Amino acid sequence: MNKPAEKTLDKLRNGENVTIVAFGDSITEGYDSARSFVDFWEEALRKNYPSALLRMINSGISGDTTFGAVDRFRRDVAPHRPDLVTVQFGINDCYNTVYRSEFRENLQWIILRIQEETGAEIILVTSMLPRNEQDHESLMRYYDVIRFYATEYNLAIVELDTLWLRALRGERDFDSLVLPDGIHPSEAGHRLIAEEFMRLF
């Protein structure tokens, strides 16, 4: 993780209005789970900062790529006037043959539009690693782009691929963290993701 979202954290501590938009794909949306990490993260933020007036918006859509994100940015992010936006894409870009060069351009566009049109702070998010290790190398090439921009723009980052890799290596019960498809988080997986976000807060 890089630096925390300092302005958002200060607003939470001071009991101010805070709007967070979680922008992403099925992992953000909470595919096939009663509650997503966005729900658990909101719950934890409310517990830690009870005086803050928090508005949490889940703008995750299953199957979305960065092309879809670009198309819907001005509908699903900008109008909410967020203080903080989390950006989680990559899996579908990789699996749907969005070239890494296109992914790089789209992600940079999203970052710049968030900064220039909303002024919001940003947390970039790498995503999951599947049980099938043959896919890891391809996905890592996309996650490396996310890490590059976190460094380039000095943005906070939550590296979920690292979390999932540790689970795959036996530090946690991987099967309890994922649905039968081997990649989407279970409710326990979403709880764990929310804990990773709370390390910034």
Strand 53-60's sheet: what is its strand order?
53-60, 17-24, 84-88, 121-126, 156-159
Cα separation of 123 and 65, whole Å? 17
Fold of the 6-198 domain: Rossmann fold (3.40.50)
Are 61 and 29 in contact by the 8 Å Cβ rule? The answer is: yes
Phi, psi of 195, deg, nearest 5: -60, -35
Residue-level pLDDT at 133? 81
What confidence tens digit (pLDDT) does each residue in 81-107 have? 999 999 999 999 999 989 999 999 999
Percent pLDDT > 90 in the chain is: 88
pTM metric for this prediction: 0.95
Cα separation of 26 and 24, whole Å? 7
Is residue 120 pLDDT above 60, yes or no? Answer: yes
The whole-chain average pLDDT of the chain stands at 94
Alpha helices in 82-173 (DSSP H): 91-95, 100-113, 136-152, 160-168
Is residue 1 pLDDT above 80, yes or no? Answer: no
What confidence tens digit (pLDDT) does each residue in 162-174 have? 999 999 898 889 8
Mean pLDDT of the 56-72 span: 97
Mean pLDDT of the 121-135 span: 90
Are 93 and 105 in contact by the 8 Å Cβ rule? The answer is: no
Burial label, 112 (beta-carbon count in 10 A; 0-12, 13-18, 19+) = exposed
